Amino acid sequence: MLVLGIETTCDETAAAVIERHADGSGRILSNIVRSQIAEHAPFGGVVPEIAARAHVEMLDVLVEKAMTEAGVEFSQLDGVAAAAGPGLIGGVIVGLTTAKAIALVHDTPLIAVNHLEAHALTPRLTVPLAFPYCLFLASGGHTQIVAVLGVGEYVRLGTTVDDAMGEAFDKVAKMLDLPYPGGPQVERAARDGDPERFSFPRPMLGRKDANFSLSGLKTAVRNEASRLEPLEPQDIADLCAGFQAAVLESTADRIRSGLRLFREQFGAPRALVAAGGVAANVAIRNALQEIAANDQITMIVPPPQLCTDNGAMIAWAGAERLALGLTDAMAAPPRARWKLDEATETPTKFINTRARH
């Protein structure tokens, strides 16, 4: 099964072709990502109008490059998948409309993919992994602990009540005048800092639920930074180290609660999986590895290039759905908001009965 995947939900324009085998394994034939960091850097964050315009300008070129690199013709595709949300609506429209045009012209099934579902299923592209497993999804827009029970079957065990984790990292970077994108800059600065210099709060620590809260921690960093102005380089390093240490301790506690809730409801998970851009943070990956080791659970983190937004994850989610006969009508809508546990609740969904699938 060959599937083209298109990703345009935020500030990466991406296209990829993957091959899914009958045994459920997969192979990436191409995975082209064009970042828009340079366009958004002067503004210190993603500007939706600029992002949508960049997607329009680049997507056709990237699709052509992905198809050429994969050595595949459009007539050979078994499906065309696009991220239909959640995300910046202008960008989502660009990617989904492009996928619809390709599917219509070449009489190929369309799969409108939930971007979060793509993150949730990506580990199955990289390693043999059976359901169910526990997912920690952390990115600029989302922080969730999810029970992944099957394709299209998700139960949220915990979520953020305010800022997403990636958003908090970026906001801390901005208040400390670190370059955009801020998350990697905070991680880099933290390596040279003293994590014990400041006594930052550990939000939600010890609660029985598995929810996250980062707004108060972010405010504590701002207050300390204001008190110390003008900031010296060591101040910035120490603030970043203290902030990251608080995030790590809070995250570890929240994930332990999530694993407990998972076991109570679904039994032992087959693995603890981390996905999303924040999963590329080395300190967070190491903390998750320690949790998994202590709980004697297999820890799976996709390669960094598959943690951040990319076309391969969209193509793979499309292939997983296509293998079950799930496709979408041309009326499938772009969605700015789309909860992961609503991944199959779209009125345009139907079962594809074409013989070759």
Domain ranges of the chain: 2-122+309-351, 131-301
Domain 2-122+309-351 has CATH 3.40.1350.10: no
* pLDDT value at residue 276: 87
Least confidently predicted of 19-23, 136-140, 276-280:
276-280
Cis (ω within 30 of 0) for the bond into 230?
yes
* Fold matches, 2-122+309-351 and 131-301: yes
Cα 230 to Cα 132, 196, 225, 233, 239, distances in angstroms: 50, 21, 8, 10, 13
* pLDDT value at residue 277: 83
Whether the per-residue pLDDT at 175 is higher than 90: the answer is: yes
For 196, counting Cβ atoms within 10 Å of its Cβ (0-12 exposed, 13-18 middle, 19+ buried), the class is exposed
C-alpha–C-alpha distance, residues 331 and 314, integer Å: 19
* pLDDT value at residue 133: 97
Average pLDDT over residues 256-263: 96
Average pLDDT over residues 245-274: 96
Give the CATH fold of the 131-301 domain. Nucleotidyltransferase; domain 5 (3.30.420)
pTM: 0.91
Residue 349's pLDDT band (cuts 50, 70, 90): very low
